[in-house]
Structure 1
């Protein structure tokens, strides 16, 4: 302790205005061994009782020590001592109250980190990176500021390009993980530093040809723009001249990666700042975008270009159509890359290496299937971008639908795809099918049908043969979307026969897999690790079950009751799903399927009622909110579509629905969707089956539960009914002398503000008419509007402007 105090005095004397005292102190400081200096300096920095000027001197000296004498001192320290130094620095950055000292400690950490990069660029202090990323979400403003400051300072170390590049890479990771709200306070400083560094490195590229740091800085700018979004608008003009210069001039072979990253950066900035800001730069065929595209087909960098085009498509929307002739050539060429495949024996495999891009699947009998994966990442990216164009441009993409369909459909038939990149391309292929059909609609029903016939068989066969659950679920989802889009008549008898067998097989496999998992839980080797695996398998199975439900929903909504004879081959399996002993997910999706039967096949659906009504009644009070939601929805569609035969069940279910709504925890997060479906169901019973309810008694309660904010589809039903009641001058809803109108205004305003009502909904015009009628009533209008807060008043005005 005495030695430490003496050291504090020495540090103080190093700042003495007296030359003799200062010189003596410097000589005394130089005689202290390096390890002892480090120990004393760290102690001074962390000592809360130490004067700030002394702590400042200690921080300056420690950084200087690590900068000028690192090789002489640090490698000779014990591992424990090295760990202690790292720990002390990180702790001080977190706990230091003085912003000045905290920044200086961060500078020390940056200096140590710089010295701990080996010759290959490997970081020998990974804990610091973790600390930096954790600091992103820290509530300590000073800590975030110190971390950003340290990264920027290290990036400005012009004498060590390798260190600069690593600091830029760390900044990229930092900003990618940083929430927008936390980044914005530092945005101006961050941007200005990055601009200075970029300009300096661009000059260095021109003069010396060095590019490593510039590549990382460009990516850093892209990452900052991506996180800052519209807040980056003021800096658009600051960066674009330099970025354009790189793209237009970095044409040499060795600069292609830099060019690709710069194009990526420009597109991310464009996506961040929006169409209005970048529109003028992309308004003619001589625009910057087109000049980037010409001649840019280098395999190493094409993925940057392809991704940039997709972002520009999102920015410009339909206006991007004019650039398709430029971009589609290289895009289709990349998407058409065919993986090299081979059937190999053991001897052949020994002559082929995974390092050469080959991956192998063992087929037994000393044979393997080999696939060369070179180019597959670019292929997968290109396929994703084609999906993006179809989604954004719709009928504007129709000229290319035929060639894209011919590319995508064969992907569904490629069965050997353990490689994750091929799986991505297959998933994208499936996703593209309904989007391409939507694009093709503009050419009329004959063209659309021809395209669908090309897809349909391949989709059904893929559902029956696809082994990977992630890919399978996407194929099933897309098939369901296609049926909804094509409608009645899109499937022939052969299709129905094959599809029925496949769905029956999926349901039987679902039950079999559950039995196998239960058996494994009785195994003597069962433990927590196995349980996690079994739960993962169960989640995959349930997800496939949801897609079975999707397909049945699309078939019922398209074919109505005429499909019931076909459905009967699955009926007992669906009944098995809703048994009370089944897991809640089975019961949820079984009920959803019966909901579709009632909604789309009534009144013919009633012949199956004895198979599901009891299960639905019990499920209204189920412990699982998902099951309650499915059951409540079922009551609603029975009231709306079921017909006279379902009237007794609606009467019986109503008190249960009311009880669920009025339970104390009905509005907590996990219950709110189920509760809103109950509220909607009560409304449907009153609207379509008023003989089943005491409407005058229930209506005031129902009005107090509005609006629905979570389930947007059911919210529209409630607003439709509300419009019926208002337009018929229902005295209970309007109240004496229209006393309830301010409350009704609030319900409508909240619905619009929460997007529970949108301008395209039919009820929006009816609601706007209600508002307009009150507008002309003088005092009543003022009374209604003054009850609304600012957000609600804006919502009412938006409704009047758009409906």
Structure 2
């Protein structure tokens, strides 16, 4: 292997045990006489070692060695003169600190943290603020905010000031609002005074590094503090206006762009006027002018603040926005020779097409195009019917973008936003009536189906499939014609077949001689992507079943063998989970007609209620619930058979642990549905007391509403078992209702909340009973009952 360090080969390094590896790497880092690359390499290796194998190497060290390592790191940071090297060592310290913070956020390296604050290596603080949010903020807000503000005022060092401002941005972005409010006054005054100073510097010396960061910090604080920031608005306005009006030189465009983003809140209409003034020269801007994308984001921010009010500015904003969104990228097909000549030319990216050919695309302007697409989606989402005037031109822009086949992280929105916009645009267009809506849908539908068939990138594909499903939900019954169904059937079938084929290929690769952890990791990634696509196949089928009901069963039959294959016992759990979900939809939406396929799914469904995987249990339990609710008489014997299986799951010792609770709640709900919809299949009198003891549900909100509605049915019909002799069960029922309210299991606008409140009011009128019920509740529960009465 290549030599890492002048005197040690890679093999030898690999064979050093973990403990000595750390000491060895620290020595190499400390050895200032060694080559720079060797020290940097050692630093990188040490950080990797701590991030990938911390548990193997560190906890086994004797405690004096651990202490030595910690103080050693802090010493190197202080002594190191090379800034890039110091940053690498800070990263190691941050990595170690991260591993020494336990689950509850307790820090086992207090002196490390104290040192970081004393010398505020702001990068490390900023990194930790992002990695451990919001726990880090909750624990260290006092120290961090004070230290960062102090550092920002260190006039001697521009770079440190800028870093501190950047760390403050990271810290406030993920800081819970309630934690930030007490510091708001202090923060704002500091930020303001620094800004004024820096503005002076900009005017005198033209230095703008810190100013840009400070402006972004202000925006970030304002974002977190929301309406609490309003009183400080006037303080900043004069400086901000000054910059917006005077920062016209080319190199200040970025700063001005950032400011537009920081001009928020109160004076939204003032700011809009200001923006509109700068707007007139928009057409003279170059395509890659950084102000453009900032302006566009500033408008989107305004739109979020102003909501429906923003509609009045659309005529001004939409022109430039559509212009930017319509940028046509320059593309070229080149052979390798041409490409080599071009590669120096800035802003081209290439995709190798094999056979000595490459496809090149000039990325200038694409980022702006990407931002613009994002913003159009934002307007459609925020303004709904207020955006209807523009739906047609936006659809015409977005639909062709579904074919935009250039993938790159920067351009992700260009690939996902067009799809995301489709259901939103349909929602906007609804107000124009069914004809307009149908026309628009026809324009989208073919393109969406084609894109599902051809899109190579799995992230983009899943977004397109998701949007297609949402569109069908908006459009409902009748939105797909025979050709659509035929094409879609073929595509979904191919996706499922490919799913099975990929699984086999992965199994083959696992037998290969090159198979190792790294291969396994990439196979796992492929597997996750595959499963994600499977969930989207399930989404699409769900939307079709819920719109078309049993009419669609003959079409579904071509997919049936594949779905049956998904729920075979030897398949991995996600396959069984999603296969069951699809059959759940068949039962729920095709009700009695679904029984003709029961031979394919009933046995597995009953068997999988007790599966090892909670996800499979949940899908099976949900299916048994809808079978009781919607399935016809043919399903009766299976309801009887399902009951003891469901009860077994609910009563198992670990049924309420975090990973099991959702499956368990679906079982409880299913038992309720069997009693409610097929009461003569089970002994309700015997099961009810158990069922009551399992309530309330608080994780699965949809099932919680179902169970509470059934509980209300029982109480309203004065069911003797539920109320107990002489209403002795009422305190228990009150505590169930209170717990449900405390866990926000039921939204106040849900009719069920009203029914529950009425149950409580009913008892309120009979004095003694009421006192007795309330007396048995904890103060929190009493408050919750009061809350329910006030709001429902």
Q: TM-score range by the shorter chain?
A: 0.7 to 0.9
Residue 735, structure 1, aligned to residue 732, structure 2: no
**Count of residue pairs the alignment pairs up:** 697
Match of 2:154 among 129, 153, 157: 157
| Partner SS, residue 342 of structure 2 | coil
**Within 5 Å, which residues of 2 pair with 1:1-400?**
109=119, 148-176=145-173, 187-229=184-226, 232=229, 235-267=232-264, 270=265, 278=266, 281-282=267-268, 295=281, 298=285, 299-353=289-343, 355-400=345-390
Match of 2:392 in 1: 402
Q: Deviations over 1:300-344 (max 9, x none)?
A: 122222222222222222222222222222211111112111111
CA contact (8 A) 2:268 2:302 kept: no
Cα–Cα, structure 1 residues 325 and 189, in superposed 2: closer, same or farther, change >3 Å? same
CA contact (8 A) 2:128 2:136 kept: no
Match of 2:579 among 590, 596, 609: 590
Looking at structure 2, the residues matched to 512 and 678 of structure 1 have their Cα atoms a distance apart, in angstroms, of 34
Q: Deviations over 1:360-406 (max 9, x none)?
A: 12222322111111111111111111111111111111111111101
Looking at structure 1, the residues matched to 543 and 110 of structure 2 have their Cα atoms a distance apart, in angstroms, of 62
Cα–Cα, structure 1 residues 106 and 706, in superposed 2: closer, same or farther, change >3 Å? closer
Offset at residue 781 of structure 1 (A): 3.3
**Within 5 Å, which residues of 2 pair with 1:606-685?**
606-685=595-674
Match of 2:401 in 1: 411
Cα–Cα, structure 1 residues 749 and 287, in superposed 2: closer, same or farther, change >3 Å? farther
| Partner SS, residue 361 of structure 1 | strand
Q: Deviations over 1:121-162 (max 9, x none)?
A: xxxx97787688789888799987666555434432335445
Looking at structure 1, the residues matched to 539 and 260 of structure 2 have their Cα atoms a distance apart, in angstroms, of 40
Q: Deviations over 1:166-190 (max 9, x none)?
A: 4433443454466667666655443
Looking at structure 2, the residues matched to 576 and 632 of structure 1 have their Cα atoms a distance apart, in angstroms, of 20
Structure 1 unaligned segments of length 5 or more: list them.
1-65, 114-124, 271-277
Offset at residue 623 of structure 1 (A): 0.4
Looking at structure 2, the residues matched to 725 and 135 of structure 1 have their Cα atoms a distance apart, in angstroms, of 47
Match of 1:473 among 453, 456, 462: 462
Deviates more, 1:222-231 or 1:350-359: 222-231
Deviates more, 1:759-768 or 1:476-485: 759-768
Looking at structure 2, the residues matched to 75 and 760 of structure 1 have their Cα atoms a distance apart, in angstroms, of 62
Looking at structure 2, the residues matched to 143 and 744 of structure 1 have their Cα atoms a distance apart, in angstroms, of 42
What do you get for the CA RMSD once the two structures are aligned?
A: 3.4
Looking at structure 1, the residues matched to 229 and 640 of structure 2 have their Cα atoms a distance apart, in angstroms, of 59
Looking at structure 2, the residues matched to 161 and 726 of structure 1 have their Cα atoms a distance apart, in angstroms, of 70
CA contact (8 A) 1:380 1:422 kept: yes
Match of 1:704 in 2: 693
Q: Deviations over 1:222-267 (max 9, x none)?
A: 2333445566455444434433443344344443222211121234
Match of 1:552 in 2: 541
Cα–Cα, structure 1 residues 439 and 794, in superposed 2: closer, same or farther, change >3 Å? farther
CA contact (8 A) 2:137 2:171 kept: no
Cα–Cα, structure 1 residues 286 and 316, in superposed 2: closer, same or farther, change >3 Å? closer
Deviates more, 1:736-745 or 1:126-135: 126-135
CA contact (8 A) 1:549 1:589 kept: yes
Cα–Cα, structure 1 residues 347 and 75, in superposed 2: closer, same or farther, change >3 Å? closer
Match of 2:15 in 1: none
Residue 758, structure 1, aligned to residue 731, structure 2: no
| Partner SS, residue 569 of structure 2 | coil
CA contact (8 A) 1:383 1:429 kept: yes
Offset at residue 669 of structure 1 (A): 0.5
Looking at structure 2, the residues matched to 372 and 302 of structure 1 have their Cα atoms a distance apart, in angstroms, of 18
Q: Deviations over 1:432-465 (max 9, x none)?
A: 1111101111111001000000000000000000
Superposition TM-score, scaled by structure 1 size? 0.80
Q: Deviations over 1:660-713 (max 9, x none)?
A: 111111111000000010011000000000011111111122122222111111
Looking at structure 2, the residues matched to 572 and 158 of structure 1 have their Cα atoms a distance apart, in angstroms, of 72
Structure 2 unaligned segments of length 5 or more: list them.
1-76, 98-106
CA contact (8 A) 2:701 2:745 kept: yes
Looking at structure 2, the residues matched to 315 and 706 of structure 1 have their Cα atoms a distance apart, in angstroms, of 41
Looking at structure 1, the residues matched to 427 and 751 of structure 2 have their Cα atoms a distance apart, in angstroms, of 23
Deviates more, 1:586-595 or 1:366-375: 366-375
CA contact (8 A) 2:666 2:703 kept: yes
CA contact (8 A) 2:470 2:543 kept: yes
Match of 1:603 in 2: 592
Q: Deviations over 1:461-506 (max 9, x none)?
A: 0000000000000111111111111111111110010000000000
| Partner SS, residue 569 of structure 1 | coil
| Partner SS, residue 602 of structure 1 | helix
Match of 2:102 in 1: none
Cα–Cα, structure 1 residues 83 and 786, in superposed 2: closer, same or farther, change >3 Å? closer
Looking at structure 1, the residues matched to 307 and 127 of structure 2 have their Cα atoms a distance apart, in angstroms, of 39
Match of 1:434 in 2: 423
CA contact (8 A) 2:331 2:360 kept: yes
Looking at structure 1, the residues matched to 573 and 109 of structure 2 have their Cα atoms a distance apart, in angstroms, of 49
Superposition TM-score, scaled by structure 2 size? 0.81
CA contact (8 A) 1:296 1:305 kept: no
CA contact (8 A) 2:618 2:667 kept: yes
Looking at structure 2, the residues matched to 472 and 83 of structure 1 have their Cα atoms a distance apart, in angstroms, of 41
CA contact (8 A) 2:129 2:137 kept: no
CA contact (8 A) 1:135 1:143 kept: no
CA contact (8 A) 1:137 1:182 kept: no
CA contact (8 A) 2:129 2:136 kept: no
Deviates more, 1:421-430 or 1:464-473: 421-430
Q: Deviations over 1:522-570 (max 9, x none)?
A: 1111111111111111111011011111111111111111111111111
Looking at structure 2, the residues matched to 74 and 742 of structure 1 have their Cα atoms a distance apart, in angstroms, of 68
| Partner SS, residue 353 of structure 2 | strand
